[in-house]
């Protein structure tokens, strides 16, 4: 039995924890970088605001316009509604985006921060700060980048190692439990009466509770299976033996020279037929109860049919079977159940058909049995629900086990049984 696990739980737990750790680390890295850019921009904006406050305070006190205190920040005053001294590259962008407070020149990608200044109705200016030299995040040195990358990789590796150890710690009891279950299953196949025990059942947690519950459930199922196994074995033996004795006694009675009446002979033949039906029923029910009845294989339908026909002809030599089954036809089925079903159908058809003839055909996944019937047999079958003695209850049980569909149909002179789903 192949018990290889395709998707180990430990691997899935590690992927879950590891993936969560990586995603969380990448998310926080992005948040840190975004925060650094925001802080950097806010510092630059505050430098401009500080210069604007300085210029405004000096104008209010002295009534004179002054320049900024640093070379990286310049103020351009508006004359006749235009910034005459403003560099053309910056002026073009300001005219295109008048409300922008941050621009990049297209040629040298210089980064500027802008801040308007209003002193009076006709005195307006624009503070332009070249913040490129102050950009720490974007101009971070190569060594700093390598150090940051190393720290990120180290933290990720440490997190993945922690996730791996955590997955082992969480899954280890379940893996041990699964391994013991597999070992107990293999031992059960050799010693079916042995009770299953799990070491995890001693744990005082959820795994221990699950182990104890499963241990009790499996042991109860095994006990039930053993009872059914012994019952099936004993039943088959205890029923077959007396039936064989009865059949032998009937054979001895028929071999004796004592005269018997026609009614007695008819009763003896009926008794033989009923004994044979009981034996067939026992064989089928025991076969259905066995575990190997679920095993299937591709078998030759015609070869099995020929085998059953030969066996039937030894009992009913006048039986005629018209078989329309191709030589290479194969079906996937349990061979023993298939032989029992065909034997049941053929023997009952030979016993109850009007002139001991049967037509069998296989086409498009359907197996069709058709035999002639007399009006008396048809009426008797309808009144007693015996289905012409063809044992359709047993056949129906076999078809149900194999996943086939069974149907029957009466016509004026024929009775047809159709089994669908054979492949």
Rounded CA separation 403/272 (Å): 33
DSSP one-letter code for 80 = T
Helix and strand numbers, DSSP H then E, in the chain:
9, 11
User: Which positions ≥6 away from 34 have C-beta within 8 Å?
Assistant: none
**Domains of the chain, CATH where assigned:** 10-149 (no CATH), 192-289 (1.10.287), 292-420 (3.30.565.10)
Question: Which neighbouring-strand residues pair with 414?
Answer: 372
Distance CA 416, CA 260 (A): 37
Output the tens digit of pLDDT for each of the chain's 423 residues.
445 556 676 777 777 777 887 788 788 878 887 888 888 888 888 888 998 898 888 888 888 888 888 888 888 888 777 777 788 787 888 888 877 788 887 776 788 888 888 888 778 888 888 887 777 776 665 666 677 778 778 877 887 788 788 777 777 777 777 777 777 666 655 555 667 777 777 778 777 788 888 888 888 888 877 777 777 777 767 777 787 888 888 878 777 767 777 777 777 777 877 787 777 777 777 777 766 667 888 999 999 999 999 988 887 888 889 999 988 899 999 888 888 889 888 887 887 777 788 999 998 889 999 988 766 665 555 544 344 444 577 788 888 888 899 998 877 778 889 999 887
Which DSSP letter does residue 63 get?
Answer: S
**Cα three-residue angle 91-97-98, rounded to 5 degrees:** 75
pTM of the model as a whole: 0.47
Q: Helices 206-255 and 142-190 sit at what angle, rounded to 10 degrees? A: 30
Query: How much is the pLDDT for 1?
Result: 44
Q: Are 353 and 296 in contact (CB under 8 A)?
A: no
Question: Which is nearest to 200 in space by CA: 184, 224, 221, 223?
Answer: 184
CA 404 to chain centre: 25
Residue-by-residue DSSP string for 182-199? HHHHHHHHH-TTSPP--G
In terms of Cα–Cα distance, which of 284, 312, 295 is closest to 396?
A: 284
Cα-to-chain-centroid distance, residue 133: 60
Q: Which of 279, 325, 288 is nearest to 304 (CA)?
A: 325
Q: Are 76 and 91 in contact (CB under 8 A)?
A: no
* Nearest CA-CA partner of 393 in 402, 403, 406, 383: 406
Residue pair 388/415 in contact by the 8 Å Cβ criterion: yes
Q: What is the Cα–Cα distance from 186 to 183, expressed in whole angstroms? A: 5
Phi, psi of 5 (to 5 degrees): -90, 125
């Amino acid at each position: 039995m192949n018990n290889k696990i395709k998707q180990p739980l430990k691997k899935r737990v590690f992927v879950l924890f590891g993936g969560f750790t990586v995603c969380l680390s990448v998310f926080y890295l992005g948040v840190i970088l975004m925060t650094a850019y925001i802080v950097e921009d806010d510092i630059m904006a505050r430098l401009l605001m500080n210069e604007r406050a300085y210029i405004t305070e000096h104008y209010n006190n002295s009534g004179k316009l002054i320049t900024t205190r640093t070379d990286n920040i310049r103020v351009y005053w508006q004359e006749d509604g235009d910034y005459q001294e403003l560099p053309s590259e910056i002026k073009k962008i300001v005219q295109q985006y008048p409300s922008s407070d941050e621009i990049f020149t297209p040629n040298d990608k210089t980064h500027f921060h802008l801040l308007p200044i209003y002193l009076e109705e006709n005195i307006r200016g624009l503070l332009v700060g070249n913040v490129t030299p102050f950009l720490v995040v974007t101009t971070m040195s190569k060594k700093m980048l390598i150090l940051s990358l190393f720290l990120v990789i180290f933290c990720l590796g440490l997190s993945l190692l922690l996730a791996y150890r955590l997955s082992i710690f969480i899954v280890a009891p379940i893996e041990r439990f699964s391994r013991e279950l597999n070992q107990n299953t293999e031992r059960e196949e050799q010693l079916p009466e042995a009770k299953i025990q799990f070491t995890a059942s001693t744990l005082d947690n959820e795994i221990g509770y699950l182990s104890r519950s499963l241990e009790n459930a499996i042991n109860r199922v095994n006990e039930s299976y053993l009872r059914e196994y012994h019952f099936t074995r004993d039943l088959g033996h205890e029923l077959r033996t007396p039936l064989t004795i009865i059949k032998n006694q009937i054979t001895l009675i028929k071999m004796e020279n004592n005269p018997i009446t026609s009614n007695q002979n008819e009763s003896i033949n009926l008794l033989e037929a009923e004994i044979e039906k009981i034996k067939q029923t026992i064989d089928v029910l025991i076969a259905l109860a066995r575990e190997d009845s679920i095993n299937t294989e591709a078998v030759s339908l015609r070869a099995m049919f020929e085998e059953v026909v030969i066996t039937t002809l030894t009992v009913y030599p006048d039986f005629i079977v018209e078989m329309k089954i191709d030589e290479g036809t194969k079906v996937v089925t349990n061979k023993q159940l298939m032989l029992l079903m065909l034997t049941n159908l053929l023997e009952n058809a030979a016993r109850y058909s009007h002139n001991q003839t049967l037509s069998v055909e296989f086409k498009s996944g359907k197996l069709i049995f058709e035999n002639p019937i007399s009006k008396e047999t048809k009426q008797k079958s309808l009144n007693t629900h015996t289905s012409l003695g063809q044992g359709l209850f047993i056949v129906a049980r076999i078809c149900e086990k194999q996943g086939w569909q069974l149907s029957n149909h009466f016509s004026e002179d024929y009775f047809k049984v159709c089994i669908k789903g054979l492949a």
